[in-house]
A and B are shown apart, each in its own frame.
Chain A
Amino acid sequence: MTANAPMPEPALRVRDLQVAYGTPRGSLQAVDGVSFDLAPGESLGIVGESGCGKSSMGRGLMQLLPPGAAVGGSVLLNGEELIGVDAGRLRRARGEDIAMVFQEPMTRLDPLMRVSKHFVEAIRAHRPEVSKADARQMGRDILAQMGIPPTRADNYPHEFSGGMRQRIMIALGIVLQPTVIIADEPTTALDVIVEAQILDLLDRLRTDENVGLLLITHNLGLVAETCDRVAVMYAGRIVEIGPVVDVFANPRHPYTQGLLRSVISIETTKLVSIDGTPPDLVDPPAGCRFAPRCAQAFGDCTTVDPVLADVDVGHRAACLLQTGSYPQRMGVTA
């Protein structure tokens, strides 16, 4: 996206999202001020390792957090604020406007209910005016789109394989034509061929139905192959965000650089890792959170907290090396 193109209204606009959990040691700030936009039909990959907060962020967006967790900030879905809204509106939003696809589909499907019934219930919960017969047909149509034959639409969840269950989950998520799909590690439990099929499917959905896709994953290969933009998270914050081609070709944040170097692919000739461990999020260190592990850290890095700033068109990084010693506040660009 160039700076001069007219900005379409973002499907999802997240500003300063915060998620905190209560622990015996104190409040753990899992997500510490994350902001991004998601345009309709765009696919944004959120990438990071365990403990970076990406899953918490995904759940925070849908407010599907365990009791004792707190959410703050602003989430605008098609211009409407979701944080702090009443439970009824939230329930309607989940399903009609945002769909979530999780890692373990079997745990989300009712084993005692036929698959077609899942659809009938989901559709009629949001649109009671739809008749049962129509809802069943809608369900079959969408299942067929996902590659589940109509002759099997009345089977029980356990009669399907893992990959097919994930397709059913996706179908359930999109049957009401949401604007945004949040997929949290949707293919981690699946084998690589089925993974490629599912991602193909999500991609088709995106282009055909203009649905925005937020793909949360630790697999950089997936992001490279399917996403338009990518946001790299570390210790609860986004440290780099930009078009996938740019970020992969020219990573500006030392963590991104280290991460990309450490990925093992078919073409790897050398094994590289990042030393050290992520910081404690109950009591995070001052300054840049990656500084203790960063080979390029200098004096100010442990005292000044870097903000995301432009390093290229549409490409931002939170690193003092890239943006100088002075923290700059800039308007948000998509």
Chain B
Amino acid sequence: MTQPDVVMDVRNLSTWFEQSGGLFSRGQHQSVKAVDGVTFDIRKGEIFGLVGESGSGKTTLGRTLLGLVPATAGQVLYKGQDLTTLSEKAYRPLRRHLAMIFQDPNASLNPAMTVVQGVGHPLRIHGLASSRAEVRASVAEMLERCGLAPATNYLDVYPEDLSGGQKQRLVIARALITRPEFVVADEPVAALDMSVRAKVLELMMDLKDDLGLTYLYITHDLSSGRFVCDRMAIMYLGQMVEWGDAALIYDDPHHPYTDALLDAVPLPDPSRRDRQKRLPSGEIPDALSPPRGCSFHPRCPVARPDCGWGGRDLIDALEHRWTRVDADTFERELDMVGDLAGASADAATLRLPGADAEQVRSLLTTIGSTLSPSLVDAVVAVEPDRGDTVVVFGFGPEPVGQDVAGRVVACHIHGVTRRPDGKHGGRVPTQG
């Protein structure tokens, strides 16, 4: 079986941002793991979709691939060369082959350059055109390809005089004028009107065929992904949760998050509005302190006891419950858990100062079914300790991608896996 031609081979890539403790930080010197150990490849001629919401790390991943943000660990292999080891200076000649299309057409073009200067600048930088006339001719040809015709109307205009759709075409023209091989398109149509999006997407796909391009298409909009992508990956908090053939994933998602995303996407068809939607509660957690085990477990409708439950989850679940009960119940239960504000949680335990173990145990037994599924099942012990109560959680490993039904999914539902260097929750079993 022939190996498909791989353009980008990404191995265990991580991009962490150091968060220096400011005056108001919570005390810990943490890093934001924007991209956390991602492995995948992109094949020649395909459109690989990277889908996720804000905070998922998709934008950072795109920029790391192109060296605009330095990688913390891992490799990005382009034609056998590891791009992460290159200095900024060494990277520059490669930029004619690796291009980027940006999201905001109003801010991605230099206001001080005319169209011909701005779009033609890459040619100058890489020495692909030697005279002003040559640059002009190349830019004109590219503009016509991008649907801005007659090109002479646009060459000496400043970008601010053009509409959003026209500006985005300029951004595309500038990216593709050096005939790159690999293009990262970061939300290329998100800032455009609905009626203009289709045209620009169509342009991008036509150009892919004409110029033999390979795209990494980054978007938060699942709707466009279906039509555009060949393969795709769903990202959540810096990790890929499901990736593989796009049609397969859309038709038959195997990760609860993918499922939720697909359910939540509004359909422009009023007759289908009452369809069943299983929406997870809560929102994407703070990237500075992501959940242990599987990052999605606090919101997952089908979570299991070994998905990485911990002390913080218990507090969040209690608070969520208290929004739905009356004031008396709230007060009573708040008393039973002692000093909640002073509680401290680490990977395996939750310490409730001043709480009585018996009371906590009975509380958990009574209300367990109203909290998140499997949360109480994950508790292995409730012990008194020096006047406080310590709630101990069972082991919850961080999942690894496994091959299931033709794609790769990172979810314990399909079999519990364990990522060696992951952030695991709960008490690690002594037998390993």
Tell me if chains A and B make direct contact, with any CB pair below 8 A: yes
A274 contacts the other chain (Cβ, under 8 Å)?
yes
**Residues in B whose Cβ lies below 8 Å from that of A244:** 270
Residue pair B194, A225 in contact (C-beta under 8 Å): no
Residue pair A191, B195 in contact (C-beta under 8 Å): no
Report the minimum CB–CB distance from B362 to chain A (whole Å).
Answer: 21
A264 contacts the other chain (Cβ, under 8 Å)?
yes
What separation, in Å, do the CA atoms of A163 and B271 have in the docked complex? Answer: 28
**Given A151-B340, A271-B198, A273-B197: 12 more A-B contacts, CB < 8 Å:** A144-B324, A149-B322, A191-B53, A191-B284, A196-B263, A221-B268, A222-B266, A224-B270, A260-B268, A264-B201, A265-B267, A277-B163
Produce 1/0 per residue, A221-233, CB < 8 A to B.
1111110000000
Nearest 8 pairs between A and B by C-beta?
Answer: A221-B266, A191-B53, A149-B319, A271-B198, A273-B199, A49-B193, A274-B195, A196-B264
**How many contacting A-B pairs (Cβ < 8 A)?**
144
Q: Can you give 21 A-B contacts (C-beta < 8 A)?
A: A144-B324, A150-B323, A193-B279, A193-B283, A197-B281, A218-B194, A221-B266, A221-B267, A222-B266, A224-B266, A224-B270, A245-B270, A249-B271, A259-B195, A262-B198, A266-B223, A267-B226, A271-B202, A273-B197, A273-B202, A277-B163
Closest residue on chain A to residue B316 by CB atoms: A149
Produce 1/0 per residue, A197-209, CB < 8 A to B.
1001000000000
What separation, in Å, do the CA atoms of A274 and B271 have in the docked complex? Answer: 25
Report the minimum CB–CB distance from B40 to chain A (whole Å).
Answer: 22
Q: From B220, B226, B279, give the contact of A266 (CB < 8 A).
A: B226
Residue pair B319, A151 in contact (C-beta under 8 Å): yes
Residue pair B227, A264 in contact (C-beta under 8 Å): yes
B369 contacts the other chain (Cβ, under 8 Å)?
no
Report the minimum CB–CB distance from A218 to chain B (whole Å).
Answer: 6
Q: From A162, A266, A272, A273, give the contact of B250 (CB < 8 A).
A: A266
Residue pair B267, A224 in contact (C-beta under 8 Å): yes
Closest residue on chain B to residue A293 by CB atoms: B195
**Residues in B whose Cβ lies below 8 Å from that of A221:** 223, 265-268
Closest residue on chain B to residue A192 by CB atoms: B264
Residue pair A50, B223 in contact (C-beta under 8 Å): no
Chain A positions near chain B (C-beta within 8 angstroms): 49-50, 143-145, 147-152, 161-164, 191-197, 200, 218-226, 244-245, 248-249, 258-260, 262-269, 271-274, 277
Q: Is the interface of B mostly helix, strand, loop or mixed?
A: helix
Q: From B53, B164, B322, B341, give the contact of A144 (CB < 8 A).
A: B322
What separation, in Å, do the CA atoms of A225 and B201 have in the docked complex? Answer: 25
**Residues in A whose Cβ lies below 8 Å from that of B250:** 266
Number of B positions contacting A (CB below 8 A): 50
Report the minimum CB–CB distance from A53 to chain B (whole Å).
Answer: 14
Report the minimum CB–CB distance from A312 to chain B (whole Å).
Answer: 15
Residue pair B264, A193 in contact (C-beta under 8 Å): yes
Chain B positions near chain A (C-beta within 8 angstroms): 53-54, 163-164, 193-199, 201-202, 220-224, 226-227, 250, 260-271, 273, 277, 279-281, 283-284, 286, 319-320, 322-324, 330, 334, 340-341
Residue pair B323, A265 in contact (C-beta under 8 Å): no
**Residues in A whose Cβ lies below 8 Å from that of B281:** 197
What separation, in Å, do the CA atoms of A265 and B270 have in the docked complex? Answer: 13
Report the minimum CB–CB distance from A199 to chain B (whole Å).
Answer: 8
Residue pair B283, A194 in contact (C-beta under 8 Å): yes
Residue pair B323, A163 in contact (C-beta under 8 Å): no
What separation, in Å, do the CA atoms of A223 and B270 have in the docked complex? Answer: 8
Known: A193-B53, A194-B283, A271-B201. A263 touches B194 (CB 8 A): yes
What separation, in Å, do the CA atoms of A260 and B267 have in the docked complex? Answer: 11
**Residues in A whose Cβ lies below 8 Å from that of B195:** 49, 258-259, 262, 273-274
Residue pair B226, A273 in contact (C-beta under 8 Å): no
